[in-house]
Structure 1
Amino acid sequence: MLRVLLVEDQAIVRQGLKVILEQDNGISVIHEAENGQEALDILEKQVIDFVMMDVRMPVMNGIEATRKIKGRWPDVKILILTTFNDDEYAVQALQEGANGFLLKTSESGKLIEAVYSCMKGGLTIHEEVAAKVMPRLLQRSKNSSRMDVEFTERELAITKLVGEGMTNKEIAEKLYLSIGTVKNHITQILQKTGLRDRTQLAIYAVKHDISDV
């Protein structure tokens, strides 16, 4: 059972999200918070697997909360859910370690699908947002320094697929590897690049325009 924390300052929205998520028997919303600070307080006391969080909230917004949560509990998955189709929010959230970014206009099935995708290591970005975010990240790469990390051909292939949002299982199937082998490669890649998690690796892949070999 996935233990979910909902972080949203509007009670009626929280109630609606809880109803949607708990339609799935594998998901349980065990706590709710009105802002990022409350979320941190809950995480201090409770074991949480997944955080679904708004961006604009009083006291502490979702971007700052994402940074602090990932800094202290890196294994907790975070999905940003907002009404604002703002690519800057998306870029900031992903850079801070968020595992996905969806708009509240998403269908209920998409929300549940996103939860499981994030838990499996996927990167979920709303189509409307991705259309603006990816070109921005690619543009930034043109001004960034040359990629100076030496990857093996296998590591490059895996990094590319992580950048495409694939899960470990999907990567394993595509490259005819075991899931354990893929995990080991990703661990080595993260060590080489000094990145924190696969979300940062996905952004790294896009920014450096890594293509298959």
Structure 2
Amino acid sequence: MWRVLVVEDQTIVRQGLKVILEQDPTIIVTHEAENGQQAIEIMEKHLIDFIMMDVRMPVMNGIEATRIIKERWPHTKILILTTFNDDEYAMQALKEGANGFLLKTSEPAKLIEAVYSCMNGGLTIHDEVAAKVMPRLLQRNQKKSMDVDLTPRELEITKLVGEGQTNKEISERLHLSVGTVKNHITHILQKMNLRDRTQLAIYAVKHHLNDI
């Protein structure tokens, strides 16, 4: 069972998200918050696996809350859910360590699918947002030299991460255990001096590994 915190300042939207998410038996919304500050206070007292975070909220917005939560509880997954198709919000959210970025226009099934993707190590970005964000992320990273010798297996895993595959999907594709895949990715990140899976995906796209 995944313990979920919904952070949204509009009560009716918050309750609607709770109903949608709890249609899946693996998901339980254990806590709700009206702003980022409340979310941090809840994190200090309770174990939370996943956070669905709005962007524009009073007291503390979702971007700032994401930054603080990821610094203090890096293993908690955060999905940004917003009304605004603004690539700058997405850029900031991903920079602060968010595990995904969806618009509130997404279908209910897509929200649940995004929870599974994030919890399994994937990166979910709404198609409309990704079309604008990925070129900017690539351009921003052009100046960084990440040319590191990878083993054939590491290269293969990096390619699959770039395709948006989760650890479970990679394990099934390569006939490895999920634990082995996680260990490989940790080693790859260390070897390449990358912070997280998002940067590794960017590396894969930038170096056209999907074409190999």
Specify if TM > 0.5.
yes
- Aligned residue-pair number: 211
CA shift digits 1:125-147 (9 cap, x unpaired): 111111111122222233x1322
Q: Which amino acid aligns with 1:155?
A: E
For structure 2, the residue ranges without an aligned partner over 5 or more in a row are none
**Matching residue of 2:102:** 102
**Matching residue of 2:141:** 141
**Matching residue of 1:5:** 5
CA shift digits 1:173-194 (9 cap, x unpaired): 2233332221111111122233
Indicate whether 1:197 and 2:177 are aligned. no
CA distance in 2 between counterparts of 1:140 and 1:63 reads: 19
Change (3 A) 1:97 1:203: farther
Alpha-carbon shift at residue 204 of structure 1 (Å): 4.1
CA distance in 1 between counterparts of 2:208 and 2:152 reads: 11
For structure 1, the residue ranges without an aligned partner over 5 or more in a row are none
Percent sequence identity over matched residues? 78
**Matching residue of 1:54:** 54
Q: Which amino acid aligns with 2:27?
A: I
**Matching residue of 1:18:** 18
Contact residue 138 and residue 202 of structure 2 kept, 8 A:
no
The equivalences for 1:110-189 within 5 A come to 110-142=110-142, 144-189=143-188
Contact residue 158 and residue 201 of structure 2 kept, 8 A:
yes
CA RMSD of aligned residues (A): 1.6
TM, length-normalised to structure 1: 0.92
TM, length-normalised to structure 2: 0.92
Alpha-carbon shift at residue 210 of structure 1 (Å): 4.9
Contact residue 95 and residue 200 of structure 1 kept, 8 A:
no
Contact residue 83 and residue 103 of structure 1 kept, 8 A:
yes
**Matching residue of 2:207:** 209
Alpha-carbon shift at residue 154 of structure 1 (Å): 2.0
Q: Which amino acid aligns with 2:207?
A: D
Bigger drift between 197-206 and 34-43 goes to 197-206
Change (3 A) 1:13 1:173: same
- Aligned partner of residue 105 in structure 1, secondary structure: coil
**Matching residue of 2:71:** 71
CA distance in 2 between counterparts of 1:195 and 1:65 reads: 22
Q: Which amino acid aligns with 1:141?
A: N
CA shift digits 1:92-143 (9 cap, x unpaired): 111211111000000001101111111011111111111111122222233x
